[in-house]
Amino acid sequence: MGSLDRVLRIVIALVVAALYFTNVISGTVAIVLLVFAGVFILTSFMSFCPLYLPFGISTRGKGQ
């Protein structure tokens, strides 16, 4: 997973968290988005996305 991919995942997770804590989103939608945000954070810190493997996707640069 490339650096840009990791940063974007963290930013998206932070935006979802901010929307939740400011009560912009709530209910089932909030729970689903928070689960996705948690997965985004986890995969960002691991630098690995299991869904990329079967599809052969790599967001790493040539030098990484």
Name the one residue in this structure whose structure tokens are 């939608």.
Answer: 29
Q: How do the domains of the chain map onto residue ranges? A: 3-49
Q: pLDDT of 10-57, one tens digit each?
A: 999 999 999 999 999 999 999 999 999 999 999 999 988 888 888 888
Distance separating alpha carbons of residues 48 and 2, to the nearest angstrom: 9
The mean per-residue pLDDT over the stretch 4-9 comes to: 93
In SS3 terms, the chain reads as: CCHHHHHHHHHHHHHHHHHHHCCCCCHHHHHHHHHHHHHHHHHHHHCCCCCHHHHCCCCCCCCC
Q: How many residues does the chain have?
A: 64
pTM (2 d.p.) = 0.83
